[in-house]
Amino acid sequence: EMSEMSERSKQNVAHGLAWSYYVGYLKIVLPRVKKSMEEFCRVNPNLLACRKTWKLHILVPLSCDVYDDLEKADSNIQYVTDLTETTLARAGTKKRVYKHSLYAIRDEENQLWHCAVEFATPLQSLYAMSQDESAAFSREERLEQAKLFYRTLEEILKGSKECADAYRLIPYEEPEEAETHFLSREIVWHLRQEHHEEIAVLEGSHPHTPSTALNSAELNLQISVSDLPQPLRTDGF
């Protein structure tokens, strides 16, 4: 009965996607991000001078509108290079390659900011489901699932020691009227916060963290405790 209720409310969709994204991807790549950044900085010491940006910046558009080409999404975002690849045998595929792309983000003052950034790919599945009649997934349900995906992923990553300080989630809602450089401004905002955090640490003061455009409180869907991310088993194993 509980399973049927969960399926009817589709709450299991976002939970499943978040856990799959973490276990099947983020838990593999995030612990290796800083090493890739270090290797890159040995050759290019000036591009990533701020160590606080040595992480994977994960874009979470609540519209689930994911672009395959960031440069086409915003002309102020330019591809620079790929970081060092990680090659593993995975689920029967030998030498499966995992890699991240480094981008230069141009701000309104024509300054360049460099970071590794990519979209949360499971959102493509949510979008595809909302376009498929057989999934019976409305646009409103898609928005709720996107928010639940973000909150679930945030909770999972907060509890992951392997991934600590190796990521930054960037949730956002696109404006109703199209803005040419909305995405680049969103990314730069987060990069500036990371620079402020590093300066504060170097000066020995407590970093000031202003509220972001979207935070967990604003993404609250009145989710009950039982709906929040739970361990895969509850018997202690």
Tokens of 75: 């002309």
The partner residues of 102 in beta bridges, in order of sequence, read 81, 116
Query: H-helix or E-strand containing 68?
Result: none
198: pLDDT strictly greater than 50: yes
213: pLDDT strictly greater than 70: no
Contact call for residues 51 and 155 (beta carbons, < 8 A): no
Q: Which of 109-118, 123-132, 228-237 has the lowest mean pLDDT?
A: 228-237
What's the confidence (pLDDT) of residue 206? 53
Contact call for residues 130 and 65 (beta carbons, < 8 A): no
Identify the DSSP state of 207.
P
Amino acid at 231: P
Mean of pLDDT values over 85-93:
83
pLDDT per position as a tens digit, 19-60 = 999 999 999 999 999 899 989 888 887 788 788 899 999 999
Structural domains of the chain, with CATH: 7-204 (3.40.50.12100)
Q: Which of 36-45, 125-134, 170-179, 208-217 has the lowest mean pLDDT?
A: 208-217
Contact call for residues 119 and 66 (beta carbons, < 8 A): yes
Q: What does pLDDT average to over the chain?
A: 82
CA separation for the pair 52, 114 (Å, rounded) = 12
Share of the chain above pLDDT 70, in %: 78
Mean of pLDDT values over 94-104:
91
Q: Which of the pair, 108 or 230, is modelled with greater confidence?
A: 108
